[in-house]
Chains A and B, each alone.
Chain A
């Protein structure tokens, strides 16, 4: 169980980006988080994944707080894959950083073997996103946060990726938090949808 207890985050002392947000994510559950642009969804995702430290509150993963050292069981997939990959590395080095992956697994995600010898600048955003996904999906990962994961993809690729991801989520019993401003996508993929504004105490935007 991924428990988010009353977390708040802000860059200024008396202005919170979001204040006192709590939610619970069970393994195997796909939870949607909806909100319009600019209300702090991405910041929230970064705090939950441990990229940023919450000013108040705590995040408890399977009964313990994730440590700074070691692999975090909560992995984030962001909306700018090109930024999350070292531009000087070959794609095979990028995967190697996370671990070894079988050819079948990579094929499932639509990663072609010939991309391995390329640099990130020689692949498109959607192709890079598949690498980010593969990199996050290791056995140690228990919870996946997808922050506008497929916004840059065309409809067909989007459908393919979601199909694979949802299958993997069920297979490994991962908890998944899907963050998007696209309600139709959330309705299609999630078991349960929460409104970000409602969570942080505002009125519903549905």
Chain B
């Protein structure tokens, strides 16, 4: 609707309605929210997590905005700590995943056999449901932070790798690469100077859009009991504990942490989409 209107409304289109500017503002807000989350994860001490049976199962109040759990721990602090942990796990896993995707897709330049091997590997990983391979890898590595990060990193690269591979294939067949070859440049040189700069926008956006996936999958395998151990303040642990109290009316145990997780994932997804508008000239210049 807005597109149809703005098409015949040239004077009002300038300034405020520019998508690129709006995308930049939203990205700024998202980044600020994350910085706030990380900072509060560091700054909030352990006092609120002390066991206090007198204050167990209190409903949300001013003293405890998210209520308290069966040990009297403040749910707000647990949630913030859990989200901060999820953030770091997501960051690490998404980063490793992006590096794997980049390296494997660059094998296209080395030779055809390696490339078809990579294509086969991508198909193999995409054919198995994510959660199954996640559980298998995490369980094999004995769970914990280490197991979760490795499992998430090893299962999230195929989509990005496929995208990058297609992009490399397109660039590889351009005439300026042929000229570069004829000028005696090695494939390594070409990858570094011609191909990598072309891939950076795709890589950055792929990395950020991988983030919400990584966080959700971390939470879900922890919820299922294959991930982080129960003494760590993870959202998955909070949610699986809350399951037992839902029927007795302790709704705040699940609702607030769940909402916060949803919010975080939504903000990340939004950040990725907005950055795509900023990086992609075709989408960004469309007003």
Which residues of chain B are near A49, meaning CB under 8 Å?
Answer: 182
Which residues of chain B are near A98, meaning CB under 8 Å?
Answer: 183
Establish whether residues A78 and B175, one from each chain, have CB atoms under 8 Å apart when the complex forms. yes
Shortest 10 CB-CB contacts between residues of A and residues of B: A71-B184, A83-B175, A70-B184, A72-B182, A84-B175, A86-B176, A84-B179, A51-B178, A84-B176, A98-B183
Decide if B45 is an interface residue (CB 8 Å cutoff): no
Decide if B180 is an interface residue (CB 8 Å cutoff): yes
User: Among residues 193 to 223 in chain B, which have CB atoms less than 8 Å away from a CB atom of chain A?
Assistant: 193-194, 197-198
Q: How far is the CA of A75 from the CA of B184 in the complex (A)?
A: 11
Q: Can you name 22 A-B residue pairings with CB atoms under 8 Å? A: A49-B182, A51-B178, A51-B182, A70-B184, A71-B182, A71-B183, A75-B182, A76-B182, A80-B175, A83-B174, A83-B175, A84-B175, A84-B176, A84-B178, A85-B176, A88-B197, A97-B180, A97-B183, A97-B185, A98-B183, A135-B179, A135-B183
Decide if A50 is an interface residue (CB 8 Å cutoff): yes
Decide if A69 is an interface residue (CB 8 Å cutoff): yes
Which residues of chain B are near A84, meaning CB under 8 Å?
Answer: 175-176, 178-179
Which residues of chain A are near B198, meaning CB under 8 Å?
Answer: 88
- In which size bucket is the chain A interface? 10 to 19
Q: List the count of A-B residue pairs having beta carbons below 8 Å apart.
A: 36
Q: How far is the CA of A71 from the CA of B185 in the complex (A)?
A: 7
User: Among residues 70 to 98 in chain A, which have CB atoms less than 8 Å away from a CB atom of chain B?
Assistant: 70-72, 75-76, 78, 80, 83-86, 88, 97-98
Q: How many residues of B contact A (CB 8 A)?
A: 15
Cβ-closest chain B residue relative to A80? B175
Cβ-closest chain A residue relative to B171? A86
Q: Which residues of B contact A (CB under 8 A)?
A: 174-176, 178-180, 182-186, 193-194, 197-198
Which residues of chain A are near B186, meaning CB under 8 Å?
Answer: 69
Q: How far is the CA of A60 from the CA of B12 in the complex (A)?
A: 66
Which residues of chain B are near A70, meaning CB under 8 Å?
Answer: 184
Establish whether residues A86 and B184, one from each chain, have CB atoms under 8 Å apart when the complex forms. no
Distance between A90 CB and nearest chain B CB, rounded to angstroms:
12
Encode contact with B along A56-78: 1 for CB under 8 Å, 0 otherwise.
00000000000001111001101
Establish whether residues B183 and A86, one from each chain, have CB atoms under 8 Å apart when the complex forms. no
Partner of A50, one of B175, B180, B182, B185: B182
Establish whether residues A86 and B194, one from each chain, have CB atoms under 8 Å apart when the complex forms. yes
Which residues of chain A are near B194, meaning CB under 8 Å?
Answer: 86
Residue in B184, B186, B197, B198 with the greatest tally of chain A CB atoms within 10 Å: B184
Cβ-closest chain B residue relative to A83? B175
Which residues of chain A are near B193, meaning CB under 8 Å?
Answer: 97
Which residues of chain B are near A51, meaning CB under 8 Å?
Answer: 178, 182
Q: How far is the CA of A149 from the CA of B185 in the complex (A)?
A: 24
Establish whether residues A83 and B197, one from each chain, have CB atoms under 8 Å apart when the complex forms. no
Assuming the A-B contacts A88-B197, A88-B198, are A83 and B182 also in contact, with contact meaning beta carbons closer than 8 angstroms in the complex? no
Residue in B178, B179, B193 with the greatest tally of chain A CB atoms within 10 Å: B179
Distance between B112 CB and nearest chain A CB, rounded to angstroms:
15
Establish whether residues B183 and A83, one from each chain, have CB atoms under 8 Å apart when the complex forms. no
Q: How far is the CA of A7 from the CA of B175 in the complex (A)?
A: 22
Q: How far is the CA of A85 from the CA of B194 in the complex (A)?
A: 10
